[in-house]
Amino acid sequence: MSTVSQDMMTDGLNIRVVGNTGTGASAASLTNQKIKFIVINLAGTTISTLTDELDRNLLTLLGFTSSFQWQTGMIVRAPQGLTIKAVTVAGGNLLAYSE
C-alpha cells in the first residue's frame, strides 16, 4: 500500500511519511512542496525523483547513482539553503520535513 500520510507536527515542522507502509512496491510522491529535508525511514528505499525548487535533479547533483544503497536514518537536503520541491519513492519509505 503506497501512501502520503497526513501531516504530523514536531518542533514546528510538518512530517509526512512518503512511500510504501505495507508489503509490495507501490510508488508515492509529493510535488510542489517546500521540504527542508528528508530522512530515509527504511533501508533499501528507492527514490526515483528528487528535485529542488530550481527544478534541478538532486539525485544527479548530489551524486546518488541508481546503485546507491539508502540506509535508515540518512538525511538529504538541497544545497545552498534551497528546499526540495518534489520526491517520488518507488519502494520503501522516507519522512519529509517541511514548514
Q: Is the pLDDT of residue 1 over 50?
A: no
Cα 82–chain centre separation: 15
Count of domains in the chain?
1
Domain CATH number, residue 10: 2.60.120
pTM of the predicted model as reported, rounded to 2 decimal places:
0.84
Q: What is the DSSP string of 4-63?
A: EPPPEEETTEEEEEEEESSSS---EEE-S--EEEEEE-STT-EEEEEEETT--BHHHHTT
Lowest mean pLDDT across 13-17, 34-38, 76-80: 13-17
* 23-68 confidence digits (pLDDT tens): 555 678 899 999 999 999 999 999 999 999 999 999 999 999 988 9
Range of the domain at 72: 2-98
C-alpha grid cell for residue 80?
Answer: 545552498
pLDDT (mean) for 61-84: 95
